[in-house]
Amino acid sequence: MNVIQNQEKLFELAQAWGMEVGALLRKYATDSLAPAICINDGCDFIAEYEPDCRDGWCEECQEGTVVSAFVLAGIV
Protein backbone atom coordinates (compact mmCIF):
# COMPACT_ATOMS: atom_id res chain seq x y z
CA MET A 1 0.00 0.00 0.00
CA ASN A 2 1.20 3.49 -0.71
CA VAL A 3 -0.11 6.74 0.71
CA ILE A 4 -1.75 8.07 -2.47
CA GLN A 5 -3.53 4.78 -3.06
CA ASN A 6 -4.72 4.83 0.56
CA GLN A 7 -6.13 8.33 0.14
CA GLU A 8 -7.99 7.31 -3.02
CA LYS A 9 -9.46 4.28 -1.31
CA LEU A 10 -10.40 6.32 1.73
CA PHE A 11 -12.19 8.84 -0.50
CA GLU A 12 -13.95 6.02 -2.34
CA LEU A 13 -15.05 4.53 0.98
CA ALA A 14 -16.40 7.86 2.24
CA GLN A 15 -18.28 8.35 -1.03
CA ALA A 16 -19.86 4.92 -0.66
CA TRP A 17 -21.09 6.01 2.77
CA GLY A 18 -22.22 9.34 1.29
CA MET A 19 -20.04 11.32 3.69
CA GLU A 20 -16.94 13.45 3.78
CA VAL A 21 -13.82 11.57 4.91
CA GLY A 22 -13.51 13.64 8.09
CA ALA A 23 -17.18 13.19 8.99
CA LEU A 24 -16.94 9.45 8.38
CA LEU A 25 -13.92 9.12 10.68
CA ARG A 26 -15.60 11.18 13.41
CA LYS A 27 -18.84 9.21 13.15
CA TYR A 28 -17.05 5.89 13.65
CA ALA A 29 -14.36 7.08 16.06
CA THR A 30 -16.03 5.48 19.07
CA ASP A 31 -17.57 2.44 17.36
CA SER A 32 -16.28 -1.12 17.67
CA LEU A 33 -16.64 -1.52 13.91
CA ALA A 34 -15.37 0.77 11.17
CA PRO A 35 -16.02 1.08 7.45
CA ALA A 36 -13.43 -0.87 5.48
CA ILE A 37 -12.60 -1.31 1.80
CA CYS A 38 -10.60 -3.75 -0.31
CA ILE A 39 -7.34 -2.11 -1.40
CA ASN A 40 -6.94 -4.14 -4.60
CA ASP A 41 -7.05 -2.14 -7.84
CA GLY A 42 -10.44 -2.30 -9.47
CA CYS A 43 -12.14 -3.84 -6.45
CA ASP A 44 -14.54 -1.79 -4.34
CA PHE A 45 -15.71 -4.43 -1.89
CA ILE A 46 -16.83 -2.70 1.29
CA ALA A 47 -17.55 -4.13 4.71
CA GLU A 48 -17.35 -3.22 8.38
CA TYR A 49 -14.38 -4.56 10.32
CA GLU A 50 -12.45 -3.72 13.46
CA PRO A 51 -10.98 -0.19 13.38
CA ASP A 52 -7.41 -1.58 13.23
CA CYS A 53 -8.21 -4.11 10.49
CA ARG A 54 -5.48 -4.47 7.83
CA ASP A 55 -6.26 -7.87 6.38
CA GLY A 56 -10.03 -8.30 6.41
CA TRP A 57 -11.51 -10.89 4.07
CA CYS A 58 -12.62 -9.63 0.64
CA GLU A 59 -15.45 -11.76 -0.71
CA GLU A 60 -14.76 -10.51 -4.25
CA CYS A 61 -11.00 -11.19 -4.32
CA GLN A 62 -11.13 -14.15 -1.93
CA GLU A 63 -8.17 -12.80 0.00
CA GLY A 64 -7.39 -10.73 3.08
CA THR A 65 -7.14 -7.30 1.49
CA VAL A 66 -9.79 -5.25 3.29
CA VAL A 67 -8.42 -2.32 5.31
CA SER A 68 -10.37 -0.06 7.69
CA ALA A 69 -10.87 3.66 7.14
CA PHE A 70 -8.75 4.41 10.22
CA VAL A 71 -5.80 2.43 8.91
CA LEU A 72 -6.17 4.12 5.50
CA ALA A 73 -6.19 7.51 7.22
CA GLY A 74 -3.03 6.61 9.13
CA ILE A 75 -4.80 6.99 12.49
CA VAL A 76 -4.36 3.39 13.64
Is 38 a binder of Zn ion (CB under 5 A)?
yes
- Choose one: 5-13, 18-26, 32-40, 48-56; the region binding Zn ion (CB under 5 A): 32-40
| 15: alpha, beta or left? (left if phi > 0; alpha if psi -120 to 50) | alpha
Within 8 A by CB and 6+ apart from 64, the residues are 55, 56, 57, 58
- Asked if 53 touches Zn ion (CB under 5 A), the answer is no
Q: With binding defined as CB under 5 A, does residue 48 bind Zn ion? A: no
State the residues that interact with Zn ion by CB under 5 A. 38, 40, 43, 45, 58, 60-61
